Amino acid sequence: MLVLLLAACGTGAATNTAAPVNTALPSAPTSAASATPAASSAAPTTVVPGTTVVPGVVATRPTGSPTRAATAGVSTPVAASRPQLPVTVKDKDGRAATITDIGRIIVITGDVAEVVWALGLGGNVIATDTSVTYPPEAQRAPKIGYMRTLAAEGLIAARPSVIIGGESAGPPETLEQLRGAGIPVVIVATPSTLAAPAQKIREIGAALGVPGPAETLATQTQSDIDAARALAARATSKPRVMFLNVRGNQVQQISGSGAPAQAIIEAADGIGGGAAAGISGYKSITPEALVAGQPDYYLVFQLGFSSVGGADGLLAIPGVSQTPAGQNRRILAYEDQLLLGLGPRTGAVLRELTLALHPELR
């Protein structure tokens, strides 16, 4: 599994596997009656997909079959029962939305998409934003821009019956325009905590009229997280880990307290290097902050890592090589949504990261 994506990671070229923006959207149904979810075509066969440890950098984790904790919530879409609609939900801002039809869903943000597919509703999705990278079927769905910079026009033209996304969906003016056009828009709360995955699953299930399957998935997800945390509790080492959010030259940030990486690093029994350097949220990379954080490991998104040309590109960013992590080329790269989506695979990535950071547990 560890070697699965090394080729994608090791190339110097930016890897953008998302479908092109403005791919033709499926045409709207002639009636609005398509409220029954299509069976998901997702048939994932891999376990903990997207996990990559940079070769020669970190001791590999043990081989062999992953435990159930590593696979649960990953490979089996929960069959969605007939949706219970209409439903009126209040989103995180207290805004009410009434959903009468889930036949034409647009999903914004990768974490929410992952849940929609896991609930067996992928066949009802007509488009997603470019942050949606998992499962592969979701990656292939038509794209309508990046979650943080959406334009209302294309979304309205697609005639969605509901738009659902996480708090990164925006900007707010676009969401207002969509609501003004009479489209139900549901923004679920996406706190950066380990309670978020189960909470999001329940909220998404409620909004799409499938609370039963959502409860099953939420319970399974929580038990995976609990199992991974129990493993991390046995660790005796305490490495410092710094998450670098890089997208080519466009975005080069260190993440600190309050950001999702901090929750994941702490849950894996590491010390957040960004928070240790006094950073809260995301701040531009500076040599001073890197040195103050003294990370033993860098943690990165796989697509972000590829976008800077892999290890050599990352280490060429000023200051990145001047830390224990840089000097020892200790870089851990995981598929973007797997690592920080705080979705149904959170327990799986937590287990992977815990084993990568703590040799004593392998």
76 vs 168, beta carbon nearer ligand HEM: 168
44 vs 184, beta carbon nearer ligand HEM: 44
DSSP string, 93-116: TS-EEEE---SSEEEESHHHHHHH
Asked if 268 contacts 239 with a C-beta cutoff of 8 angstroms, the reply is no
Per DSSP bridges, beta strands 297-301 and 331-334 are parallel
Least separation in angstroms between residue 13's CB and ligand HEM is 11
Cβ neighbors of 149 (< 8 A, separation 6 or more) are 170, 171
The tokens describing 199, both together, are 């909470």
163-184 burial, b for 16+ CB within 10 Å, e for fewer?
Answer: bbbbbbbeeeebbebbeeeebb
5 vs 361, beta carbon nearer ligand HEM: 5
Least separation in angstroms between residue 222's CB and ligand HEM is 20
269 vs 335, beta carbon nearer ligand HEM: 335
284 vs 328, beta carbon nearer ligand HEM: 284
CA 198, 233, 290: angle at the middle one, nearest 5?
A: 85
282 vs 321, beta carbon nearer ligand HEM: 282
131 vs 161, beta carbon nearer ligand HEM: 131
11 vs 322, beta carbon nearer ligand HEM: 11
Dihedral sign of CA atoms 81, 75, 111, 265 in order: positive
Element (H, E) at 140: helix 136-140
Least separation in angstroms between residue 103's CB and ligand HEM is 26
Least separation in angstroms between residue 52's CB and ligand HEM is 15
- Contacts with ligand HEM, residue ranges (CB under 6 A): 16, 18, 110, 130-131, 133, 146, 245, 247, 250-251, 260, 282, 303, 336-337, 340-341
Least separation in angstroms between residue 17's CB and ligand HEM is 7
Least separation in angstroms between residue 106's CB and ligand HEM is 17
Least separation in angstroms between residue 320's CB and ligand HEM is 18
240: left (phi over 0), alpha (psi -120 to 50) or beta: beta
358 vs 59: CA distance, rounded Å = 10
DSSP code of residue 25: P
Place of tokens 């929580």: 222
130 vs 346, beta carbon nearer ligand HEM: 130
44 vs 110, beta carbon nearer ligand HEM: 110
335 vs 64: CA distance, rounded Å = 21
92 vs 302: CA distance, rounded Å = 30
Least separation in angstroms between residue 244's CB and ligand HEM is 12
Cβ neighbors of 29 (< 8 A, separation 6 or more) are 103, 104
Least separation in angstroms between residue 129's CB and ligand HEM is 9
Least separation in angstroms between residue 145's CB and ligand HEM is 7
Could you give phi then psi for residue 52, rounded to 5 degrees?
Answer: -135, 130
Residue 112's nearest CA partner among 334, 340, 339, 343 is: 343
